[in-house]
Structure formats: C-alpha cells, structure tokens
Structure 1
Amino acid sequence: MAHQIKKKLGVTLYKGGAEFRVWAPFARQVSIRGTFTDDQPQLLTSEGDGYWFALIRNVEPGHQYKYLIETADRQLLEKNDPRARAITSSDKGFSVVVDNNFDWQNDKAFKMPPREDQVIYELHVGTFNRPDAATSGTFDSAIEKLDYLSKLGINVIELMPITSMAFSNGWGYAPNHIYSVESMLGGRHGLMKFVRECHARGIGVVLDVVYNHFYGDTDLWQFDGWNENNRGGIYFYNDERGDTPWGGRPDFGRPEVRQFILDNITMWFNEYHMDGLRVDSTIYMRNTEGHDNDPAHDISDTWSLLRDIVELAHKIKPDALMIAEDAACNAMITAPRANNGCGFDAQWELGWPHALRDALGLTADTTPTLQGIRYEFTHSYNGNDFERVIFSDSHDTAANGSVRLNEAADPTGGTTLHAREKALLADAVTLTSAGIPMILQGSEFLQDGSFNDWAALEWHKTEKYAGILLAHKHLLALRHNAYDTTRGLQGNS
C-alpha cells in the first residue's frame, strides 16, 4: 500500500503519562488543555510536516481534553482530537482518554463461519431492543437478544454505524467522530462486550462504516483554520469534489487523510475484534454524482484507496467479510485486485429487493412481472454467487418514503393473510437463493411500518406471529444444511 505514514497519532498511554500527537499543518501553534493540565493550556512541540507532539505526565483513563489551535490569522480554535476513542457528547463535547484494557476471555477461539454458510442480520442498536419508549437501546440490551438470534440461525450481525454521530438517535450515517463509539449506545467497552458475547455464541460482527462524507458540523471542518473556497480544510477536498448531499467528502488523495481512514480500519479489527466491514456508498466515494461510467465526475484517488482498505483488512484478518454498498453493482468492486478490481468479498445486491417487489406486484402499477427476478436468479459477479448480499428488506428499502415489504402488500398494517404470504414468500426466496442472505431486524416476526431510528421493534410479535418466526427458523436450518439434505443451498449453482 502506498502513502504509509508511520507516526502514531492520538493518545498513547504509558505508565505515568501519555503522548499526544495531532496533525495540524497550517497551525501557528497548538496547545492542549485538560484534566491533566489543571485546565491550563500546555504547548505542543512542532515535529515538522504539520505534526505536533507533547509528552505529559499524570494522564489517566477518564481524563478529558481538547486541543487549542492558533490559526495562521491568530484565531484560537477549540477542537476535539480527531482520533479520540471517546467523546463526552457528540455535540461540542470533550475528548476522553480511554482505558485500553478489556477482558476478551476466550475470544481468540472464534472463527468466522464459511462464506457459503453465512446469514446476516442487519441490526440498529438504538431500536433493536429498547427498554422503553423513552430510552435508547444499547449494546447491553442487544446482548439480551443474542441467544434468540443464535437459535434463529443467524451467524453474522451487521451493525449499522455506531460511531459518535451528529444525531445521537440517528441511523449513524452522519458521522462526526469516526474513532469514537457513540456513548448513548454504551461506548467503547459496551461495543467490545457486545462483540465478545456475539463470538461466544458463534456469531460474527460486521460493522457499517461511513467514509464517503463526514458530517458538516464537526471538529474536522477547517480543523486548523486553513481552507480554500470556504470549504472544509485539511481533511476535505476544497473544490467541487468536496460536495455530497450529506456533508463534506474527505480528500482521498491526501496521504494524511488516507492514513486517517486506514488507521480507522485497523482500529476496528485490532481493538474491537470486528470480523468485517460494510463500506457505505462506495459509489459516492468514487464519483461526485454517485454515477458509474461517468469519467467526467470520477474521483481518481478513490479506487486505490478502496483497494488499500480491503487489502489492509485481509492482512489483519484473512477471513474478514468486506462488503461494499455500491449502487452501480459494478463487478469490478468484487473482482480480485490482481484483475484490477477492488477485491471486496461481496456487495449489496440492490436490485434484489426491487425485483422481488416487482414479482409480487407491490410496485406502483401492481402488475406482477418476473423479468427482474429472472435476471437476479441467474446473475452473479465474476462467476461467484457469494459476491453478493441479497435481501428482501434493508434499512434503505424500508425507509426514505418506503415501508417494509409486508406493509407494501397491506397498507393497513402489513398483517393480513395476503401480506403475510407475500412477506414470507419473499424471505423464503431470499434465504434459498444463491448469495449471502440478509434479514432486516424484525422481518422474521412481521415487524411493520417504515424503518426509522426511534420506533422500537415490537417483540410481542414473536408470539403473535410465531408461525412466521418458526418458518424463518426452518428456512435458516435448510440454509445451514442442518438436516444434511440441503447442501445445494451452500454452493454455486
């Protein structure tokens, strides 16, 4: 991989103190103020090449701090550490020195299920198992349902983004501190505990990560005061490439920004024992308009970065499941690096849920058509069925003005016999087709409505629609060849 930068940024704890290092190439001076400085600024030393460093005594886990950055025009900016492992609040909080110790117990014994046996469950921690209507779900509350998922037949959980975000109750796709785990969900050790408990039950964990943009109102924006064209400064493109519908696009061509992203990849695997990543909207990483075959708007820096991301992940964890969400469904995303591809293991098959709805007559004209699903049944990337993740619903298809498939069949609540039959048929087709199947949380017990970030799953429906749930258990048993009669579901065909 190119552009490797060896300096260790962020906080490095030692016995009796800690090193602090930050990148701020246009700063006149950088200071740090925190619990360990009695809230008085302490100067950092310039190391050259835009890096600033301090070795400070008596630093302990739990101490809070911020950087004070004097800009070229002598303004004083108060900024959080871009690599802080914890933030007290997503909205103008403080960086926190973290305790790196954690009892992983027998976690090294876990092995990721083979690709042909994987069944993914898309899970949003905040709504998956909420204690009550006023309280967000947490990693601890999600752990309470892991035995349920294991008995269902799930062996991979895909967590929707869990980093500190602009909206604490949100989906997670407005990231503002990509190194910090959202405190409302349980923070750093809460996530570690969740992964450990998943592994203890034979369940792998894939994390959804967002690098196509960083939310605009963030510490990274004009971090050291410098910018061009009134844009984002050192972490962002400072021309039209910096524009996305959601926030500034990182400068994928700047070595320090590439390393910021690659070190984040390393963190998820080494510190949190992740088993894979789902990289959000790679199409918007590689094209300013989110288009394929559009050279005029392609971002030339991105392809090599995506390749580096996958290569790094597989170097750390050879059996990592690396998934791309690329709206173009371009086969080169999952083609091997040796063939000039990105090398992702799989990508979301975004045409699958729409083809199912077409076949079931759930689109606007209500006329069933099999053309789309016929294509999906016979389509694969690079001759490998398992280079695609297939699903009847996801957080996208069941939101943004749409509803879950069962409610599309029955707008009065998604629970009529007609709706139940169509929803179960869609899942049965998905769970017995070629590809890596994924279930959106709650689909297995007929959760209805739109997917959103505030409505809790209605767990009483596991009893109300016990037959639907049992059917999913049987389908997953077939998928796993539990009775040694359905091995064909685990191989290319």
Structure 2
Amino acid sequence: MTGHEERAAVPRSARPRTDAPRHYEVWAPAAAEQVEVEVDGGRHPLARDTARAGWWRGEAPAGDYAFRLDGGPPLPDPRSPRQPHGPDGSSRPVDHTAFRWSRTGWRGRPLPGAVLYELHIGTFTAAGTFDAATEHLDHLVELGVDVVELMPVCPFPGKHGWGYDGVSLWAVHEPYGGPEGLKRFVDAAHRKGLGVVLDVVHNHLGPSGNYLPAYGPYFTDRYHTPWGSAVNLDAPGSDEVRAYLIGSALSWLRDYRIDGLRLDAVHALADDRAVHFLEELSTEVERLAVATNRPLFLIAESDLNSPRTTAPRAAGGQGVTAQWSDDFHHALHTALTGESQGYYGDFARAPLAAVAKTLTHGFFHDGTWSSFRGRSHGRPFPPGGGHRLLGYLQTHDQVGNRALGDRISAVLSAGQLACGAALVLTSPFTPMLFMGEEWGAATPWQYFTDHTDPGLAEAVRRGRRREFAEHGWQAEAVPDPQEPATVLRSVLDWTEPWRAPHSELLDWYRRLIRLRRERAALADPDLAAVRVEFDEAARWLVVHRGPYRVAVNLGDGPAALPLGATGREVVASFGECALDGAAVRLAAASVAVVAV
C-alpha cells in the first residue's frame, strides 16, 4: 500500500450547475451556414471563430446539450465528456475539478520492471462495474501485479461489449459507472499501490453512434482499413483530427490520473506526414509527465515488428514506451498446445526453437519469411530493450478471437499452465496476465455485443459465423455475440480461486511474481544475456538467467535437463523435481527454477 489513506474519493456534485452561462465550442467545418447548441430543448446560435478555421463558439445556459449543423438533427459533442443517455443522446459537461481525490501520495509507477494485468470491466465481475471491480483489487495486490490494464471504456451501443466499437472518445461508458466510476476505480487502485493503464482506440470508431463525419473530415478514403475509411491523420483537416485524438489521450492521463495508455492496432494508423502521429503523441505525453511530475507511458499493439515504434524520438523512433509481443505468445502457444493453424504455422515447425528465438531476439519475424503473410516481415529488435516488449501467455485477443472463446486452460493441464507461466514471468519482457489466467479460469471469454440496431446485430452475427465456417467450424457451434448467455458465460467465477486445482496454480503465479521481484536476474531485460538450451524431440528447454536456470519439461515422461553447472537449490517448482549434480530431474509437465 502506498501513501496515506485518509478518505475515499467522493464526487462533490453529480451534475454541473445550470444557473450560469457556459461557453460552447465545436470544430464543424462541414457546417455551411449555421451551428446551434441545443440545451435542454432550447436552441442557441453559435458564431464562427475568426481566429480558428472551422470552429464555432458562443455562450448558452448550462445543461445537457447537443449541436445542430445547418438545421439538422441534434448530435452529441465530439469532445463530449459524458453521454448519460448513451452514444446517440445529448452530452453533459463534467467538472473534473469537483472530484475529491484521496491523499495517497501516489506519484506514478514507471513501466520497466512492472507486471501488468489486463481486465475487462464488464466481465471481471458479475455486476460489471468499476465499483464492483474495485472490490477485487486486494486480490491483485496479493497476486503481486503492479499495473491494471483496463480494456476500452468509451461509450458503445447497448450495455455489453468488448469496447473496441466505442465512440465519444472523451467519455466513459455509463453502465460501467461513467466518469465518476472510473475516477473512483483509479483512486482506489492508487491507494493500494496499483497503477492503471487504459486501452484506447484511435484507429477507428464503432459502426453505430459515430457522428464525427457529420462535423468534418475526421476520416479519409486515402487508405483502406478493416473498418472502412481510415482516420484522417495526414489529409486536409488532419491537424484538427490529430489534436482531437491527442486531446482525448491527455484527458485520460490528466483528468482521470491514469498512468499510461495502451494504443490499439497502431499499424492501422495510416500516416505519411514527416512527424508520425505516434511521435507527436509521445511528445505530448512526455510534456504532460514533466508538468505533472509523474511517469506516464504508452504501450502499442503493433503487427509491424518494427523496433522504430519503441525507439527514442532522438534516434529517429516514435518514442512509444513498449509494445505487445505477439511473436512470443505465438511461439509459446504452439509449444504448449501443438496448434498450427493460421499464423501459428510459422512457429509450429519448431516451436521450442521459436520460443528460444523470441527469448533471445525479441521478434521471431525479424526480416524472415512469414508464410501467413506471404512475404518477409519485421526487422531485428535491439537486444538491450527486452522490457520494451510485453510478454504474455493469454490476452483478450488470443482468447476472445477463437471461435469458442476458449482459454488455454481448456486444453492444458495445471502443470502445462505452470510451465507457460514460468516462461512468461521469468522472461526478459514486461509480463502481462489476462484476468483469471492466474488461477486457470474455467470460464471462456467469448466475443459478445449488444448492438441496438437490429440490422447491425444480424450483420455481426452472420459475419462471425461465416468467418469461422471458413476455418472448419459449424456455424451453429459459434456463440451468438448478441445472445445474453454469451456474455454471462464470459464472467469470471470468483469462487474458483479457492478451489483445487485453481488454488495451486494461483499460488504458483504468486510465487513466480514474488521471485521475479526478489531475484533481479529473472527480470533482466537484456536479451543478449539470455541463453536457451532445448531438445525439440524430447520437448524440454532450459532458460539461462544469470545464476538461475528455468527448466521446463513439456514431454510426456520424466526427463533429466542439463543445467550447465551444479545445481545448488531449487528456488521454486511445480511438479516433481530433484537435483542431480549438473542436471535437474523433472516429471512430465513440470518446471523448476534452479540456482546454480
């Protein structure tokens, strides 16, 4: 626990005062003649801002509001801080100075050396709210993680969804608890010494409730993306679009005191300007960190395998703090499960060799041929920056994008799960867990939506079934994203951590995280200092981490694994093991951390 816990955070008011005029402004270059702000049913004209092209401004009473462009229908504010009636409703001001933050002494937490925990507010608990999630923060503290990574919380249609179809990029999904709920969660996490990362989506908006095109050129047809027109980062009008996205990002870090942002699919941010959007964003985040005197960081999801993403700006990079490492996941997944479909194919040819390469070189595809892509892919990653890659056994993507949303625990034994956990939590990367992974949750995590538009709901349903039918699944076996039972199946069962075999696995995760913190060599981010011995046929590998060996037997029978030196002590183990001079004997599906 960090700092002084004097009081819990409570809002001073639930709604801003309505007895004084309020200033309104909006960037709406698409409006030809007139922009009005409608406040509680009354219309008030705005005037063109002569100093800023495309901007309109004026005063009107305070209250719930919307904008009308050239006499059209009322539209929510693109910079709406709150959508109390959902994405299609009117906007509501939020006084961010009204929230009473606890005096915790929290001054932030740098990313290097941290262990992250990804969770989805809507399924982390049965209630699916920020306040309900707060009740389980002690579990995370006892687990030993340092940072909670929240999946997107911007408003989206309906109540349930992953959050990647969000709109209103400055607001918070009301069913989760709205702006006040998010602040209470962050405040509570900081009181317990936990940092908070928020997943934000800049590469697209959801298909329903997105009114940005009515205002101006927020999107461009210069590029094609999986979601249609690309966000306008380099065409005419892109200065304002970039400012809109960066302003949203800074608001999360400043107004909600969030410690870092996870940037979704940055490879889909099409931008050919001299200063890439990510470089501009990282510059502004760094300025805010200096102004607030606390570390702030950015984590990118990128499919490019480009070290430029995390290289310092002074060295020609984009300055992002870290990026997800799907290569490590794919190698580890194939080694544990034997799966070889789709993008797993490149890793499945020699899975232990793939694990070894990622542990020692970061990227598996570092200029090598990718059969899944039909071309060469990536470039070498700098060996000294292992902490700039996030390593994981599971994520929301790697679970939820499977046809049945089945976790890896559905097909692996507790011993095999323990082996995977050891390779993640003693790796040179920044480790990340997916909620429930630490106890081998038996609940799936499936793809679910709650679209209020019947046509869109049916299109999503058919698209999901068609996609997996092409991969050999029967359409009727694929869960219906719109069916309430789909989201209910995905909610964590909080009775599991107390029952065997879940409790044994949970204890193993706690020991590994504690070991990583106590033994510096097990967290050393220098990839060049890692050495891996393996036997593909016998299915074992030994990872050399300074004076420690992480010995993993994935074979079907017992094996003696070479340590390269006399083993002095078994520091931690899962499964039967015994030291035998310069070897350690392990039962099938067992792992040991040995000091030599």
TM range (shorter): 0.7 to 0.9
Total equivalences in the alignment: 430
Q: Are the equivalent residues in 1 in contact too, given 2:81–2:170 (CA < 8 A)?
A: yes
| Partner Cα separation in structure 2 for residue 99 and residue 247 of structure 1 | 35
Structure 1 residue corresponding to 2:74, chosen from 73, 78, 81: 78
| Partner Cα separation in structure 2 for residue 113 and residue 26 of structure 1 | 43
SS in structure 1 of the partner of residue 69 of structure 2: strand
Against the structure 1 CA distance between its residues 121 and 157, is the aligned structure 2 distance closer, same or farther, given a 3 Å change threshold?
Answer: same
Q: Are the equivalent residues in 2 in contact too, given 1:215–1:248 (CA < 8 A)?
A: no
- Which residue identity is paired with 1:466? S
| Partner Cα separation in structure 2 for residue 422 and residue 223 of structure 1 | 52
2:408 aligned partner: 405
Task: Report the CA distance between 1:40 and its aligned residue.
Answer: 2.1
Structure 2 residue corresponding to 1:168, chosen from 138, 152, 159: 159
- Which residue identity is paired with 1:83? R
Quick one: percent identity of the two aligned structures?
30
Per-residue CA distance 1:130-173 (angstroms, 9 max, x = gap): 13xxxxx1000000000111011011011000011235311110
* Root-mean-square deviation over aligned CA pairs: 2.1
| Partner Cα separation in structure 2 for residue 407 and residue 246 of structure 1 | 31
- Which residue identity is paired with 2:296? A
1:342 aligned partner: 318
Structure 2 residue corresponding to 1:211, chosen from 202, 211, 221: 202
| Partner Cα separation in structure 2 for residue 361 and residue 83 of structure 1 | 45
- Which residue identity is paired with 1:34? V
1:90 aligned partner: 86
Task: Report the CA distance between 1:451 and its aligned residue.
Answer: 1.9
Structure 1 residue corresponding to 2:338, chosen from 359, 362, 368: 362
1:50 aligned partner: 54
- Which residue identity is paired with 2:47? T
Against the structure 1 CA distance between its residues 350 and 371, is the aligned structure 2 distance closer, same or farther, given a 3 Å change threshold?
Answer: same
The TM-score, its normalising length taken from structure 2, stands at: 0.69
2:217 aligned partner: 234
Task: Report the CA distance between 1:98 and its aligned residue.
Answer: 2.0
Task: Report the CA distance between 1:99 and its aligned residue.
Answer: 3.1
- Which residue identity is paired with 1:18? R
- Which residue identity is paired with 1:30? V
Per-residue CA distance 1:412-440 (angstroms, 9 max, x = gap): xxxxxxx2111121111100110100000
Q: Are the equivalent residues in 2 in contact too, given 1:358–1:368 (CA < 8 A)?
A: no
- Which residue identity is paired with 1:53? R
SS in structure 2 of the partner of residue 53 of structure 1: strand
SS in structure 2 of the partner of residue 374 of structure 1: helix
Alignment of 1:184-263 (within 5 A): 184-224=175-215, 233-237=216-220, 239-241=221-223, 243-253=224-234, 254-263=238-247
Against the structure 1 CA distance between its residues 157 and 448, is the aligned structure 2 distance closer, same or farther, given a 3 Å change threshold?
Answer: same
Unaligned runs of 5+ in 1: 1-11, 132-136, 225-232, 287-298, 410-418
Task: Report the CA distance between 1:488 and its aligned residue.
Answer: 1.0
Unaligned runs of 5+ in 2: 1-15, 342-347, 363-380, 449-486, 530-596
Structure 2 residue corresponding to 1:375, chosen from 343, 357, 364: 357
Q: Are the equivalent residues in 1 in contact too, given 2:390–2:429 (CA < 8 A)?
A: yes
SS in structure 1 of the partner of residue 168 of structure 2: strand
Structure 2 residue corresponding to 1:106, chosen from 99, 103, 107: 103
Per-residue CA distance 1:21-78 (angstroms, 9 max, x = gap): 011113110111122xxx1211111113111111124x2xxx21111110xxxx6232
The TM-score, its normalising length taken from structure 1, stands at: 0.83
Structure 1 residue corresponding to 2:121, chosen from 86, 108, 125: 125
The answer as to 2:285 corresponding to 1:313 is yes
1:276 aligned partner: 260
| Partner Cα separation in structure 1 for residue 137 and residue 66 of structure 2 | 37
Against the structure 1 CA distance between its residues 303 and 207, is the aligned structure 2 distance closer, same or farther, given a 3 Å change threshold?
Answer: farther
| Partner Cα separation in structure 2 for residue 80 and residue 302 of structure 1 | 33
| Partner Cα separation in structure 1 for residue 233 and residue 349 of structure 2 | 45
- Which residue identity is paired with 2:137? L
Task: Report the CA distance between 1:321 and its aligned residue.
Answer: 2.4
